[in-house]
Amino acid sequence: MAEERLFALIAPQRATLYSEWVRQLAPYEWLASPLGPHIQTWAYETIGGLEGLHLVLDRDLTENDLALLRRFALTVGVFRRHERRGMPWLEPLPLERNYVLPRTMLETRRYKGKTNELLTELMLNLAWFASPWSADPAVRLRVIDPLCGGGTTLFGALIRGWDAFGVDNDVRTVDTTVAYIKHFLRTCRVKHEVERSRLRGIGQRWTFHIKAAEPPLTCVVARGDTGYTFELLASPKAHILVTDFPYGVQHRGLVIDILTRGLHAWLRALRKGATLLLVWDQRTLSREELIHLLEGLGEVEPLDDPPWNQFVHPVDRVIKRRDILVLRRRPSDVDGEGA
């Protein structure tokens, strides 16, 4: 049987706290990926002062695997690991990342409460890995964030060539997000068109057609209540949904209300087999409470076995247990044409 030994360099971080959670979660990104079933063993390893993962796979890597690895968030370089004279010798794999839009779209905008860029990319990856479309990295996905805030999830999707759809109820947040997208595309000289639609009784929608790919990328930002996600977006059904709930114990009631009112609307906007990924502060709800609530609302199946239950991590001195829950959408009577 062929065996592949790899050294995966963990993404370095300036802040100690970020370094800790990136190091903690990096192996589980690998284990949750389509390569996970082929990983025989893994361990942390330091070579030349740089920390990474020493992984042993039960088969050689394929071109499809390399395309997958180019999307990984928490490891920034992968090497075939050889032994020569008792020392490790590393052969770099060709994993240059080709972004459809400049990565600065994800990194440039700063605002209070912004989700870390690496976590955003990890969130997108985990939702993708759990979906039926992870076997083909070339598939162009549609991503929904029904609580999109400043748009970080949307930007993370767009730079990798996925269509992005976001909803938020805050007037200023949506206006500044739309303004940022327009300014960024103009500054980078990316051809685009934007349409503004007023939706009687429920809000407004801005639709961008971004001519950085063929066919053009679609980005929709809608202002309105998340309970009207399906009506606000009025788009082909999405493959994955990724969102980040408000942090803090004071938001417990708000999180429950959002899910109670929003989940059915979110599911209407998703394809059969779609995955949902939720990020929240465990001071708001424990993992067990959140799963119980979602199972009571029906139509979703939580993934709660390893490695999917290994992503809890600290954010700062206050938020010590931020967690990630991935769910699969069950087929139901909300399915219709184009589901």
Burial zone of 196 (CB within 10 Å; 0-12 exposed, 13-18 middle, 19+ buried): exposed
CB-side neighbour CA atoms (13 Å) of 310: 16
The 3-state DSSP class for residue 111 equals coil
Hunting for tokens 């063993």 — which residue is that?
41
Which of the 8 DSSP states describes residue 37?
G
Q: In angstroms, rounded to a whole number, what is the distance separating the alpha carbons of residues 130 and 12?
A: 26
Q: In angstroms, rounded to a whole number, what is the distance separating the alpha carbons of residues 241 and 277?
A: 6
Closest alpha carbon to 105 in 217, 215, 194: 217
The 3-state DSSP class for residue 66 equals helix
Domains and their CATH numbers in the chain: 4-92 (3.30.70), 104-329 (3.40.50.150)
The 3-state DSSP class for residue 151 equals coil
Token representation of residue 129: 């890995």
Q: In angstroms, rounded to a whole number, what is the distance separating the alpha carbons of residues 262 and 318?
A: 28
CB 147 within 8 A of CB 244: yes
CB 33 within 8 A of CB 129: yes
Give the pLDDT of residue 337: 42
Q: In angstroms, rounded to a whole number, what is the distance separating the alpha carbons of residues 153 and 224?
A: 18
CB 192 within 8 A of CB 185: yes
Closest alpha carbon to 125 in 178, 67, 53: 67
Q: In angstroms, rounded to a whole number, what is the distance separating the alpha carbons of residues 283 and 274?
A: 28
Which residues are within 8 A (CB) of 32 and not within 5 positions of it... i.e. 6 or more apart?
126, 129, 130, 307, 308
Q: In angstroms, rounded to a whole number, what is the distance separating the alpha carbons of residues 291 and 298?
A: 11
Q: In angstroms, rounded to a whole number, what is the distance separating the alpha carbons of residues 158 and 99?
A: 9
Give the pLDDT of residue 291: 96
Mean pLDDT (10-residue bins), the chain, 339 residues: 90 81 96 98 96 97 96 96 91 94 94 88 98 94 97 97 97 97 97 96 97 96 97 95 89 92 95 96 95 92 97 86 94 53
Q: What are phi and psi of 191, to 5 degrees?
A: -65, 135
Q: In angstroms, rounded to a whole number, what is the distance separating the alpha carbons of residues 15 and 314?
A: 13
CB 181 within 8 A of CB 151: yes
Which residues are within 8 A (CB) of 333 and not within 5 positions of it... i.e. 6 or more apart?
none
Angle value at C-alpha 276, between 288 and 100, nearest 5 degrees: 140
